[in-house]
Each structure stands twice: as C-alpha cells, then as structure tokens.
Amino acid sequence: MKYRQKGYQEENTETKEPPKESRAKQELGFGSRPSPRIETRYTEVTRCSNCSTIVDTTLSIGFNEQCKKCGNYLHSCKNCRYFDPGARFECQKPIEMRVAKKSEGNMCLQFSMKVSVEKQQAQESKKVVKESISPGKLAFDALFKK
C-alpha cells in the first residue's frame, strides 16, 4: 500500500448503507414536503423617466401628454425606447436633426414608449415569508431598533 492514510482505497464490503440523503428521502417520501422556493413573476411596466411613476399605456401617448405626478412630457427622447446616449444624435433610429433638450416634448414620429420588465412577487409568497419569521427574531429586531 503506497499511502498509509486511514481509509485510503478501503472498501467496507460488510455493511453497505445507503447515503444519508437517500435514507431521508425514503423516510419522508420524495416530494412530500412543500417546496420553500418562492415563484418570481415578471411584468412589463412603463415608467416616467423623471419621477419613475408607472404610466398607463393602454392608449397611445400623444404629443402633449404629461406625467400626472411631475408634469414632464411623456412624448420625449428620454422616454423613447430608441434613446441611446452613445448613438449619433443620441437616437438609434436615423434622424436628420439632433433634439437639444431630451426631457422636453417633441414631435418625433418614430417615438415608441420605453417598456421595461420588472420582478413582481405574488402576494401569497410575501405572506409566507412574513409568517416564517420566529417570534424570537422579531423580539431581537425590536430590541436593537432605533
């Protein structure tokens, strides 16, 4: 035997026990416990570039539409999906003239409102997370709360 460490290339042929994981699965029955995984859902959202409020885009956005919260024009370069600060005239589409003020309204015919995909957790999963916090943890957090 080249290496003298205990257990090197030794096979215990007398008692072959299944690994602990497979025993636990056999005792509980595979899949009998509910999964602790929280399902994540995604939604498409349109937001104002100035104040980040959600904009209702069920109707098309007109040239003079303004944000209800901050009053900024929604038909502007900063709200357009083709706005790119690294591109020529800061637009991915070929335009003839540069628009000087990107946050003000304009009459661009190639305008398309920017849509982003954001995470949204189900209301049920939020309840499960809140209920799983132990009372001891809540007392500890309350003790050190400012």
83 close to 97: Cβ distance less than 8 angstroms: no
At 40, which helix (H) or strand (E)? strand 40-45
Q: Residue 58 pLDDT > 80, yes or no? A: no
Q: What is the pTM of this model?
A: 0.52
Per-residue pLDDT reduced to its tens digit, 67-84: 888 888 888 888 899 998
Query: What contacts 4, CB < 8 A, 6 or more positions away?
Result: none
- Domain ranges (residues) in the chain: 42-116
Query: What's residue 25's pLDDT?
Result: 53
